[in-house]
Amino acid sequence: METTAPSQWKKNVSEVLEVPSGNKCRAHKKPLQAFLKAGMIPNSLMPIVQSWMKKAQGKGGPIEVDINVEDTQQVIDMLQLLDNVVIECLDEPKVLPVPDDESDRDTKLLYVDEVSFEDKNFIYAWALGGVEDLKSFLDQQSPDVGSVSGSASVDGTAEPAVGA
């Protein structure tokens, strides 16, 4: 009996995605627990993340993104988490953090603030395993963005992390 090749053990296999803007990228999925372990989830989002993890463990229901839009810090932290996921999960093109000094920008490189919010949201949902049917996600998107609501819902369940 032969052993399993290392490539078959790995979950982070890149896939080509078409994002809402029509652009294509190569990305890999990463469990939410990996971002938690790396300290990339701000404290203001910990109650929300704990709720997601409970639901991912089979406690039922769709995963709710319940951001208090009145809490400016929580909104900023959620946007930073979106950016972190995009930076970590996109393999091609590689997305870089925003440089501290604008003069350090290279026009040949892609920075996270140059990726649209809709594309970031899509990549976030896909990378964390929260969207099962990407076509329905795209179909629900509209060209006009309305006002921000206090709560949004992501259908589907997160994939449990192996060994976490």
Q: What is the pLDDT of residues 56-111, one digit of tens each?
A: 565 444 445 556 666 688 888 889 999 999 999 999 999 999 999 999 999 999 99
In whole angstroms, what is the distance from residue 39 CA to residue 53 CA? 16
**pTM score of the predicted model:** 0.66
pLDDT of residue 113: 97
pLDDT of residue 83: 95
Query: Using CB atoms within 10 A of its CB, is residue 29 exposed (0-12), middle (13-18) or buried (19+)?
Result: middle
pLDDT of residue 109: 97
pLDDT interval class at 46 (50, 70, 90): confident
3-state secondary structure the chain: CCCCCHHHHCCCCCEEEECCCCCEEEECCCCHHHHHHCCCCCHHHHHHHHHHHHHHHHHCCCEEECCCCCCHHHHHHHHHHHHHHHHHHEEECCEECCCCCHHHCCCCCEEHHHCCHHHHHHHHHHHCCCCCCHHHHHHHCCCCCCCCCCCEEECCCCCCCCCC
